[in-house]
């Protein structure tokens, strides 16, 4: 298990645009994916984009089923249901006109939450770890989680959807937290 440091806003690396992943995957990229999963579960979170650990590649992991409070610890092995998904080179090929508002949080903006309005349903094209291309429709919480994570890959944070005043207040709070941590 390798848990990596999660970058905290306003770290400039969170605003980087991720690059395309080439196939076949190198051992280094496979290790990055394993580390991302370990980091997401350890945080705990339901998603993590590569840019959040300082890797500017179009990779994200999600698990919208798993919740830390549902996991029991009997010795070294956690219990509970996990549904890890790896998204490589994801792209939305359709987004609904119907919008849905969800309260979002982010591992890179700790202890901050805000209501964000996003398309209620999406169609996604992505590659798996073998390079196979998939296309599927998503709605509800999973659609929101995917949009949130893939925003990271284009340098966007959920706070960018909030009012300018709220964004400034959050950034000020995060700068203070960031200075304390460095």
Binding residues for Fe cation: 106, 148, 152
User: Which two tokens mark 66?
Assistant: 């798993």
**Cα–Cα–Cα angle for 170, 141, 25, nearest 5°?**
90
166 contacts: CB under 8 Å, gap ≥ 6:
114, 159
Q: Is 5 a catalytic residue?
A: no
User: Which two tokens mark 176?
Assistant: 């203070």
Pairing relation of β-strands 109-119 and 99-106?
antiparallel
- Alpha helices per DSSP H over the chain: 27-42, 140-152, 164-181
Q: Which residues are annotated as a binding site?
A: 106, 148, 152
- Neighbouring-strand partners of residue 74: 77
Which residues are tagged catalytic? 149
């Amino acid at each position: 298990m390798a848990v990596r440091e999660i970058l905290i806003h306003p770290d400039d690396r969170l605003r980087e645009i991720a690059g395309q992943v080439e196939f076949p995957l190198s051992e280094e990229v496979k290790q990055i994916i394993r580390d991302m999963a370990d980091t997401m579960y350890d945080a705990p979170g339901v998603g993590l984009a590569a840019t959040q650990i300082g890797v500017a590649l179009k990779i994200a992991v999600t698990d919208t089923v798993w919740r830390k409070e549902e996991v029991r610890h009997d010795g070294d092995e956690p219990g509970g249901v996990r549904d890890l998904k790896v998204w490589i080179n994801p792209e939305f090929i359709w987004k609904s006109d119907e919008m849905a508002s969800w309260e979002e949080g982010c591992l890179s903006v700790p202890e901050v939450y805000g209501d964000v309005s996003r398309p209620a349903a999406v169609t996604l094209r992505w590659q798996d770890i073998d390079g196979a291309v998939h296309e599927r429709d998503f709605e509800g919480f999973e659609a929101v989680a995917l949009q949130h994570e893939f925003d990271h890959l284009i340098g966007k944070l959920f706070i960018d959807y909030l009012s300018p005043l709220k964004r400034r207040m959050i950034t000020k709070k995060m700068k203070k937290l960031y200075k304390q941590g460095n």
